[in-house]
Amino acid sequence: MTANERLGVSTNASEEEIRAAYLSKVKEFPPDRSPVEFEAVRDAYETLCDPRKRFQAMLLSSAFSAPLVSLLSGHKARRNFVGPQPWREVLKTK
C-alpha cells in the first residue's frame, strides 16, 4: 500500500490536504489503541511531507505497478540457489 493510499489522498495533494488526512487517520488509529497502524500512518505522512521521499515513493510505486513478467522479460528463471545447495534443500533445513 502506498503512502497516498494509506492516507487516502491523491498523488498531487497539497500539504493542507495531506495534513488534514493525517489528522483524521490519527483520530481513527490512536497510538495507544493501534500502535502498528499509527506507525504506518505516521510513516506515510513523513513520506508525503518530504519532497525527496515523496518523489522516491512515486518512482518506486510506478516501477512496481508494472507486471512482474515485464520486469523479468529476457531473463531465465533460476531453479538453484547461488550456493552449493538447491533452494528446496535450504528450505527443508529451516
Using DSSP's 3-state secondary structure scheme, residue 76 falls into coil
Distance CA 14, CA 19 (A): 9
Q: Can you give the pLDDT at residue 81?
A: 46
Q: What is the largest CA-CA distance in the chain?
A: 55
More confident residue, 30 or 85: 30
Average pLDDT, the chain: 78
Which architecture does CATH list for 3-93?
Answer: Orthogonal Bundle (1.10)
Provide, rounded to the nearest whole percent, the portion of the chain with pLDDT above 90.
46
Q: Can you give the pLDDT at residue 49?
A: 92
pTM (global) more than 0.75:
no
Provide, rounded to the nearest whole percent, the portion of the chain with pLDDT above 70.
65
